[in-house]
Amino acid sequence: MAIKATIFKCELMISDLERHYYQTHNLTIARHPSETDERMMLRILMFAIYASDRMEMTRGISTENEPDLWQKSLSGEIEHWIELGQPDEKRLRQASGRAQKVTLLTYGGNAPEVWWKQNQQKLSVIRNLSVLTIVDEQSKALSQLAERSMQLQATLDGEHIWLTAGEQSLELSLEQWL
């Protein structure tokens, strides 16, 4: 018998001071059995950074033709494709052909740097692609906030991100590679 996804609930209150976006989103997250708390929390972080009324969590890790998050127009076109990890360059090229904007967040110790050195030249020609990374200590600290039922407050001001869960607060920053 296959192991089913674990369901997480998250009330995410977003205050984005740059975009003047102030909204609360009630997210239901199906965490695939092979997905870690770290990866799931990074999906929530990316949702907070790029939040909109049409941003959605997808089936992600269990589906080849979907990203981790996306935003679609009212007519169904993919406006923003958001991916996590170190995907194959071919996958990112295909995504760039399907979406107006593609954002990749790399994470996981030294693996992103090795991956970036191998793929930087090929990826730099993709005009609608942004590549971000988060340092390992920050993504690991973020995973400590994971609970089956969460209330998170995200405050974004330029390149600074503060995420608060109860008494715990983290200051996070992403580095832009492309």
Residue (of 157, 134, 171) closest to 14 by Cα position: 157
Q: Could you give the count of Cα atoms lying within 13 Å of 103 in the half-sphere of its Cβ?
A: 19
pLDDT at 175: 95
Residue with tokens 């996590």: 84
Which pLDDT value is given to residue 65? 82
Kindly report the pTM of this predicted structure.
0.94
User: Would you give per-residue pLDDT tens digits along the chain (178 residues)?
Assistant: 567 888 999 999 999 999 999 999 999 998 888 899 999 999 999 999 999 999 999 876 666 789 999 999 999 999 999 999 999 999 999 999 999 999 999 999 999 999 999 999 999 999 999 999 999 999 999 999 999 999 999 999 988 999 999 999 999 999 999 9
Q: Which domains does the chain have, with CATH numbers?
A: 6-176 (3.10.640.10)
How confident is the model at residue 2, as a pLDDT? 63
Q: What is the pLDDT of residue 3?
A: 76
Cβ pair 43, 68 in contact under 8 A: yes
Q: Tell me 4's DSSP state.
A: P
Give helix then strand counts, H and E, for the chain. Answer: 4, 11
Rounded to the nearest 5 degrees, what angle is found at the Cα of 152, between the Cα atoms of 140 and 146?
40
**Looking at residue 5, what is its pLDDT?**
83
